[in-house]
């Protein structure tokens, strides 16, 4: 049994706690929360579950002193110094916030912390952290002479229950000029950059040195109801971010996110298309493969705000990795370093472990 601390109880954190509680190899022993109204409450109560006997705290030192095997680390933003401390204290860390594939980046401090604590750091998620590199690499084994890899998301952002992030970070509901300053190009670009580098390294692409990034926006043509209020005509209601790596100027890896406030009242040409909300992975080669993932988008806006399947899948991907990470050698480990990561059967259908 591996003892786990959940770090933060946002959408990913709550979903992670639910899975940890059901996972036959895991035991929740601690939980960090950021808001005072959650401190001192049973974690199950915070997450809409039966009482779990674990009391939430905002005291980092209390959690640092706990005997735990792993931290599922999912706050809004990563604190690198804190991650280093957790690793050095003997706690493995699984997170959707980065370190998918460090490549040539300076991670000496994190590697040193892993060696000191005898621990492993693993970055995972969906996009980046799965759709972007794990699944394309898996599908690529069916092709020879690969010339292009594409990973793409089409999502209705109205189902994302974080209005402050949508307005203040993603910059929906702003003017196109304001949205052009979006930090998402850099914020997401680092994670997607690691994903593209992983693909290139494993497939053997000889990349040009500089990545490409493109940010496009569409404005509302009529008022649109949204989680951040009514988006007035002329303000940003859809965004498309594209990152590419090239060889001799020609794209060989493309990663793209399409985020819309629905499909109505947008500029011409902006919409999900016949496939609806989805994730796609395409490998062009001999033969080519085109895989579409459905099921990670909610049936309605209300359902998504209650429990978004994409956020749940992000959490599950991390929690599923915990037993494998706890048994790995110390260091930063990617999908290329770990064995096949799988989920677990429903409790009523599983054998005793």
The set of residues, in sequence order, having a beta carbon less than 8 Å from that of 214 and lying 6+ positions away, is: 240, 241, 242, 243, 244
pLDDT of residue 352: 64
Binned average pLDDT, 10 residues per bin, the chain of 353 residues = 96 96 96 95 95 97 97 94 98 96 94 98 95 96 98 93 87 95 86 96 96 95 94 96 97 97 90 93 98 94 87 96 98 96 89 65
Q: What is the dihedral of CA 234, 174, 298, 190, to 10 degrees?
A: 130
Please say whether the beta carbons of 120 and 148 come within 8 A.
no
pLDDT of residue 327: 97
CA 239 to each of CA 25, 180, 235, 347, 348: distance values in angstroms, whole numbers, following the listed order:
41, 10, 11, 41, 43
pLDDT of residue 322: 98
CATH architecture of 2-125+312-349: 3-Layer(aba) Sandwich (3.40)
> CATH topology for 134-295?
Dihydrodipicolinate Reductase; domain 2 (3.30.360)
Q: Are strands 236-247 and 212-219 parallel, antiparallel or unpaired?
A: antiparallel
Give me the residues paired with residue 312 across strands: none
Please say whether the beta carbons of 309 and 297 come within 8 A.
yes
Q: Give the max Cα distance, the chain.
A: 58
pLDDT of residue 186: 84
Domain residue extents for the chain: 2-125+312-349, 134-295
pLDDT of residue 161: 76
pLDDT of residue 220: 96
């Amino acid at each position: 049994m591996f003892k786990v601390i959940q770090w933060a109880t946002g959408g990913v954190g709550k979903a992670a706690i639910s899975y940890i509680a059901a996972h036959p190899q895991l035991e929740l022993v601690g939980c960090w929360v950021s808001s005072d109204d959650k401190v001192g409450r049973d974690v199950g109560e915070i997450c809409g579950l039966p009482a779990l006997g674990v009391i939430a705290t905002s005291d980092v030192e209390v959690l640092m002193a706990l005997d735990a095997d792993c931290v599922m680390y999912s706050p809004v933003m990563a604190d690198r110094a804190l991650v280093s401390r957790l690793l050095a204290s003997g706690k493995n860390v699984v997170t959707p916030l980065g370190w998918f594939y460090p490549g040539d980046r300076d991670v000496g401090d994190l590697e040193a912390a892993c060696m000191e604590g005898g621990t492993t750091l693993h970055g995972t998620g969906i996009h980046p952290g799965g759709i972007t590199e794990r699944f394309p690499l898996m599908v690529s084994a069916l092709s020879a002479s690969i010339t292009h890899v594409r990973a793409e998301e089409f999502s209705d952002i109205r189902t994302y229950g974080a209005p402050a992030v949508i307005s203040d970070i993603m910059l929906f509901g702003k003017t196109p000029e304001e949205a052009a300053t979006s930090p998402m190009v850099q914020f997401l670009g680092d994670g997607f950059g690691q994903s593209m580098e992983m693909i290139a390294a494993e497939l053997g692409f000889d990349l040009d040195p500089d990545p490409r990034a493109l940010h496009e926006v569409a404005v509302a043509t009529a008022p649109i109801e949204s989680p951040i209020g009514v988006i007035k005509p002329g303000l940003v209601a859809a965004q498309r971010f594209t990152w590419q790596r090239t060889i001799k100027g020609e794209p060989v890896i493309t990663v793209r996110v399409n985020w819309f406030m629905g499909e109505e009242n947008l500029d011409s040409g902006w919409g999900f298309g016949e496939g609806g909300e989805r994730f796609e992975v395409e490998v062009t080669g001999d033969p080519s493969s085109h895989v579409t993932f459905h099921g990670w988008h909610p049936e309605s806006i209300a359902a998504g705000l209650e429990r978004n399947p994409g956020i749940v899948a992000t959490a599950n991907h991390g929690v599923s990795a915990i037993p494998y990470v706890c048994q790995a050698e110390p260091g930063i480990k990617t999908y290329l370093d770990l064995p096949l990561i799988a989920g677990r059967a429903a409790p009523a259908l599983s054998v005793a472990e």
